[in-house]
Amino acid sequence: MSTVSRREFMGWMGRAGVGATLLEVIPFNIARALEAAIEEFPLLWLQLSNCSGCSVSVINTIHPSIENVLLDQIIPGYQLVLAFQQTVMAASGELAVKVLDRTHEEYKGRYVLIIEGAIPTRDGGVYGSLGETAGKPVPLADRVRTLAPDAMAVLCVGTCAAYGGISAAKPNPSGCMGTGEFFKREGISTPIVNIPGCPPHPDWFIGTVAHILLLGLPGAEDVDEHGRMKLFYGTTIHRSCTRRDYLDDGVMAQKPGDMGCLLELGCKGPFTKADCSRRSWNSGVNWCIGSGGPCIGCTDPSFPDGCCPLLVLPGGVSS
């Protein structure tokens, strides 16, 4: 089905002695036509009220690497095209904003909208904007209103995008809300898949994208009541916690740095659904509880308001 991959195309250009100079002048459409036999999925990645931690976490993907994600077909025959992503894209200003407009026009119903960060809605959305139209800043909420209805699907990367998260924590100064709540208010019916976590694990993002490429959008049987894929968020941290034995043996940490079950220090593992304890983080190097930090519940829809206090001292004193 595929003729030439993006990487092969660029390698071929190099071998043919076509250097950077010519590459610069070849029209975008020719490059695209050469890849026409591959099914392309343009991705528009909007950063709203966020800290960029989700982006930085996703680029920690190892198999596939982020290089593979940018240049290769992560599933044979399917090419992701990261058309708009503010952390990596070359263009700035109006030149960058035009990519949003053009993809919206050319790929109606076929692009995937990725949302990172919560949507600021207070006072008409003045607390967050992206670019201008006719000299007026365009609120982030308006960008979502424009782009979401024509997307094939919306992936909410991180707890802020999914449920409001830390951006919407009390007293929620900028009136932030998660995408699902915003869609309900605005009557937008584009399918949503939530990939919560503060930040989410790169495998959760790549896995959700792979599911869409291979099997289509996750069905009702694939997700839980909070719109998360059961594959990653099916059981609690506690169920397979590496410190579970301590609880069974009644060994409870009483102060930071103690060995033992972290429940009495405020661990949210018993109700937080995610596979951190089995998957581990940063290429399997470690994870929160592995380093002695209690789970703070960052994949839970109630995070952070419903998870505080995040760390407690059972006796009021750490000694």
Q: Which residues are catalytic?
A: 51, 54, 160, 198, 238, 241, 261, 267, 276, 288, 295, 298
Name which of 278, 296, 289 is nearest 243 in CA terms: 289
Judged by CB under 8 A, does residue 33 bind another protein? Answer: no
Segment contacting another protein (CB under 8 A): 183-191, 219-227, 239-247, 307-315?
A: 307-315
Dist CA 218 CA 220 (whole Å): 7
**166 within 8 A of 196, measured Cβ to Cβ:** no
Q: Distance between CA 282 and CA 293 in Å, rounded?
A: 16
Q: Is 23 in the site for another protein (CB under 8 A)?
A: yes
**Is residue 300 a contact partner of residue 158, using CB atoms and an 8 Å limit?**
no
- The crossing angle, in degrees rounded to 10, of helices 93-106 and 140-147 is 20
4 is a site residue for another protein (CB under 8 A): no
Q: Pick the closer one to another protein by CB: 103 or 194.
A: 103
Closer residue to another protein in complex, CB, 223/233: 233
Interaction residues for another protein, span 106-135 (CB under 8 A) = 120, 123, 126-132, 135
Find the binder of another protein among 36, 88, 215, 251 (CB under 8 A).
88
CA distance 85 to 114: 9
- Which 237-296 residues touch another protein, going by CB under 8 A? 255-257, 281-283, 285-294, 296
72/181 with CB nearer another protein: 72
- According to the binding rule CB under 8 A, does residue 52 interact with another protein? yes
- Residue 270 or 293 with smaller CB distance to another protein: 293
Give, as one character, the DSSP assignment of residue 80: E
Choices 93-101, 106-114, 185-193, 212-220 (CB under 8 A): range interacting with another protein: 93-101
Name residues whose C-beta falls within 8 Å of residue 173's C-beta, 6 or more positions apart in sequence.
122, 127
Distance in Å, CB of 215 to another protein, minimum: 25
Cβ distance to another protein smaller for residue 172 or 235 = 172
* Nearest C-alpha neighbor of 182 from the set 137, 128, 243: 128
243: alpha, beta or left, given left = phi > 0 and alpha = psi -120 to 50?
Answer: alpha
Stretch that binds another protein, among 65-73, 188-196, 205-213, 234-242 (CB under 8 A): 65-73
Out of 164, 199, 227, 301, the only residue in the binding site for another protein (CB under 8 A) is 199
Output the smallest distance, CB 264 to another protein, in A.
14
User: With contact defined as beta carbons under 8 Å apart, do 212 and 153 qualify?
Assistant: yes
| 31 DSSP 8-state letter | H
Containing 195, the helix (H) or strand (E) segment is strand 192-195
- For the bound state, the minimum distance from the C-beta of residue 181 to another protein, rounded and expressed in Å, comes to 18
- Give the number of residues written for the chain: 319
Instruction: Please select the residue that binds another protein; options are 213, 239, 313, 314, rule is CB under 8 A.
Output: 313
Give whichever of 200 and 218 is closer to another protein, judged by the CB atom. Answer: 200
Q: How far is the CB of 246 from another protein (least distance, A)?
A: 14
210 interacts with another protein by CB under 8 A = no
Please, is 67 exposed, middle or buried when counting C-beta atoms within 10 Å of its C-beta (0-12, 13-18, 19+)? exposed
Q: In DSSP terms, which residues pair with 142 in a beta bridge? A: none
Nearest residue to 192 (alpha-carbon basis) of 142, 239, 226, 235: 226
Kindly tell me which of 53 and 191 has the beta carbon lying closer to another protein. 53
Could you say which residues in the range 133-172 bind another protein, by CB under 8 A?
A: 135-137, 140, 166-167, 169-172
